[in-house]
Chain A
């Protein structure tokens, strides 16, 4: 191929900017911050399992979960490229900004998704590979394509996709799903609604512009604040369940303390100064604090589980 041919290709009257993508754009397509949380919870799920994989196989299994999570992120961005362009928070992503062309992103996501499942199957077992495939498909088809544009319950149900990694890590080591990994999935499942609703409180203008029926758009900010508190209570109670399935006192104490702050922040969100329409008069400062704490909370809960496993 000559350089002139390689510089781009014509699509209608417009030159498609193939030259625009840098390596960093392809990495951004993998949603690296989400990937970090996925890898972290999966690695702890694998580490606290009663069976230990050979380090090389464990590394390959965690890598496959990271790649699978990245593939799901790339396919999510491919599907949402038009709505992302309408939202300030996401308009700078590589697809809506035009730095990567959609076909390339779709191919990238599919190849990585298939490769991650095969790698998991070869390095660990096919149960974990099947669970990884299921979580990718659930995130892309059930959450992104089906639920998210249709119902304010999108996050309540779709949260399951991001909750799978600790159970996949456990299954990679043991070849089974026992009570503990199931409880860890439930924690991630219940963590997602208050986490995302806190974000959607201050980003609801974006969601409304893009026509995405997030809870604050459909039910209003006041109802969302009530739901955040309700789901936070459920989350904190759920997070204590591992104590019934073998987790020790370190986990119980740390999770109770982290949960108490979570609830306090959720109450602050409910009591945020607001006008008669429920609009925050503090630029949703309590919701931003809860969002930030929710990330620390998940890190802390899983760190406590690991500490418990190592020290008790």
Chain B
């Protein structure tokens, strides 16, 4: 990835040709995305639980 965030030739090459460092970078980003998804889903579960409790308590 270039400094401006845009893709370089290296980013676009066939994944099968990636070096170990490139594959490690991919895994790091994938892990970041997965953790963000986990946090979002967890927050959604808590939010729906809280909404349900408030709704069950009566008109809000």
Partner of B25, one of A14, A19, A23, A60: A19
B28-46 vs A, Cβ < 8 Å mask (1 yes, 0 no): 0110110010000000000
Q: Closest A residue to B27 by CB, please name it.
A: A3
A290 to B11, CA, bound (A): 40
CB pair A21 B33 closer than 8 Å: yes
CB pair A23 B7 closer than 8 Å: no
In chain B, residues 1-43, which have Cβ atoms closer than 8 Å to a Cβ of chain A? 1, 4-7, 11-16, 18, 22-23, 25-27, 29-30, 32-33, 36
Closest CB in chain B relative to A227 CB, distance in Å? 34
**Chain A count of residues within 8 A CB distance of the other chain:** 29
Contacts A92-B4, A92-B5, A122-B51 given; indicate if A20 touches B11 (C-beta within 8 A): yes
CB pair B15 A7 closer than 8 Å: yes
| CB neighbours of B51 from chain A (8 A) | 56-57, 60, 122-123
Q: Closest B residue to A124 by CB, please name it.
A: B60
Partner of A53, one of B13, B15, B60: B60
A94 to B32, CA, bound (A): 16
Closest CB in chain B relative to A94 CB, distance in Å? 8
Partner of A98, one of B12, B14, B18: B12
A9-39 vs B, Cβ < 8 Å mask (1 yes, 0 no): 0000011010111110010000000000000
Partner of A15, one of B15, B32, B33: B15
CB pair B14 A99 closer than 8 Å: no
| CB neighbours of B26 from chain A (8 A) | 6-7, 19
A230 to B38, CA, bound (A): 50
| CB neighbours of A19 from chain B (8 A) | 11, 15, 22, 25-26, 29-30
**Cross-chain pairs A/B with CB under 8 angstroms, 8 sampled:** A7-B18, A8-B14, A15-B15, A19-B11, A20-B29, A22-B29, A23-B36, A97-B7
